[in-house]
Chain A
Amino acid sequence: MREPATFSAQSGSSPLHDWDSRCKLAALVMTGGAAFGAGPAALAGLSLIPAAAAAVSGLALLRIAKDLKVFFIFLFFLVATHALFTPGEELMQLGWIGVSRPGLAHGLVLAWRLFLVTACGVLFAATTPNSRIRATVEWFLRPLPGVPHARIASMMGLLLSLLPGILASSNAVSCAQQARGVEQVKNPVRRLRLFATALLRTVFSRSQNLALAMTARCYSDTRTPQEFKASAQDIAALAGVAAFVATLRFYA
């Protein structure tokens, strides 16, 4: 049984791990924001940011990519639908259906943007512990009047701790069912139903347990505030990203 790696921080001490989480989140939002509406040239430039981050992160990128298999399939279908169903100049003929050049180009740009945003998000999540993500979000929301910042941060924290739990549960459920001979069930619909109900039950009891455990240890919205320290390098790195993103906006 392999542990899912994607939605939870992996230990390590790379420059990306050590980068102040507020700067990291700001850089993520800038890069992701700039990706929307960006053309191919700007996207190529922006892609350098997660590429550089990934290079210094020391993360097991192949493992993460495997976890994201479904996402890549989704991207493929996104490109395919655009290529096949957008009218325009034909690039080539696939049987009775034509691949359109503008459709393909549009689909590729869309997929690229989504990939870029996801890559940034995954790099952030994989190098920042949950409790830190929670505190960072709270730090950004705190100055906003009328926003229940502590509530939102706790909800995020809960979600973040449940996501890997759900992946792990689905692994555990399929192992448990295989161990008791679920392969003997030949009807795929029945098998899917068995799997889905067991998974739902496991996830539900997991979230209930989590809530109970948090209550038992006096979970409250007013918690010890987390300490943040941004070094001069942290801020310089963020300024670098900001300058780069702004330059791309102007020239690409």
Chain B
Amino acid sequence: MTEPALIFEDVSFLYADRTRGLDRVSFSVMPGECIALCGRNGSGKSTLLRHANGLALPSSGQVRVFGVCTKKDAVFARLNVGMVFADSSAQIVEERVYEDVAFGPENLNLPMSEVKRRVEKVLNWTGLSPLAAKRTETLSSGEKRRLAIAGVLAMEPKIIVLDEPFSNLDWPGKTALLEELLRLRDLGTTLVVATHDVELVQGLCSRILIMEKGAVIRDGGLDDFAGESQILGLRPWGRIPYA
């Protein structure tokens, strides 16, 4: 039996102000699997993703990446799990587009020729090549999103977790990103995508986790949710204030 890429075992997390960020979360993701993480605002999606690459460590329980506990070796988790933040500008660290994409591979201490190869490849994929010399803070928010993703891709992680990657993108931007994610999936990358847009990712993800108040309340294949579009928030429900 193959080992899961990512395991959450009874993970709870309390923020410093005693807010319960995660409440006894357990699930596992197999290598190459793509899952969607859904739930209303404040349900704990971002908190969960930060645990996947060791940026946050559980208050109790454990998170394991390819069998290695994030509490024991957070660096291993970060090497294997790339994270795309919800706020792209908070993820950009360098002054120029090219330098920012090179930042990760340089941290891996790769030879300069390999760094260059990866940066050029990723800039091509993401269509950022024409902007390579541009100052990062002058990018539009959609371009920043692409840069944030490019910076993660250049590290070639086996698992990528994305926090609401479709927000702030126009329709062609969304479909281009979706194509990018499909390509990654076909290359065998494991993906966890937090999103409010299940309709968009249903061709990408085969499984959906639904969170509420820090807990995973549903976990199942796409088929399990057939006819339940309301639960997913696919269609508006409840009273629309002006209706």
Contacts and interface: CB of A to CB of B under 8 A. Distances in A.
A209 B91 CA distance: 8
A223 B78 contact: no
Interface string B131-173: 0010101100000000000011001000000000000000000
A11 B133 contact: yes
Interface in B25-47: none
Interface stretch (B95-103, B174-182, B215-223): B95-103
A228 to B, nearest CB: 11
A218 B90 contact: no
Interface stretch (B4-12, B104-112, B205-213): B104-112
Interface in A183-242: 209-210, 212-220, 222-227
A40 interface: no
B83 interface: yes
B55 interface: yes
Contacts of A227: 112
B234 interface: no
Nearest to A206: B90
Interface of B: 53, 55, 75, 78-79, 83, 85, 87, 90-96, 99, 103-112, 115, 133, 135, 137-138, 151-152, 155
Given A161-B95, A217-B103, A218-B75, A11 B135 contact: yes
Contact of B93 (A9, A217, A222): A217
Which of B53, B95, B138 has its CB near the most chain A CB atoms (within 10 A)? B95
Contacts of A130: 94-95, 99
Nearest to A211: B93
Which of A3, A218, A226 has its CB near the most chain B CB atoms (within 10 A)? A218
Contacts of A224: 105-106, 108-112, 115
A244 to B, nearest CB: 31
Given A129-B99, A161-B95, A213-B91, 8 more contacts: A130-B95, A216-B83, A217-B104, A218-B78, A218-B104, A218-B108, A223-B106, A224-B109
Interface of A: 3, 8-9, 11, 129-131, 161, 168, 209-210, 212-220, 222-227
A93 B151 CA distance: 64
Contact of B107 (A129, A161, A217): A217
B208 to A, nearest CB: 25
Given A168-B137, A218-B75, A161 B93 contact: yes
Contact of A9 (B83, B95, B109): B95
Given A219-B107, A222-B109, A213 B93 contact: yes
Contacts of B155: 217-218
Contacts of A222: 109
A161 B95 CA distance: 8
A166 B11 CA distance: 37
A220 B78 CA distance: 12
A232 B55 CA distance: 47
13 contacts: A11-B133, A129-B95, A129-B96, A131-B94, A131-B95, A161-B95, A212-B55, A215-B55, A215-B78, A217-B107, A217-B151, A224-B111, A224-B115
Contacts of A225: 112
A204 B105 CA distance: 27
In the complex, the 3 A-B pairs of residues with the closest C-beta atoms, listed nearest first: A224-B106, A217-B104, A209-B90
Contacts of B53: 216
Contacts of A217: 78, 93, 103-104, 107, 151-152, 155
A166 B239 CA distance: 44
B61 to A, nearest CB: 21
Given A8-B95, A224-B115, A216 B110 contact: no
Contacts of B75: 218
B55 A216 contact: yes
A209 B92 CA distance: 10
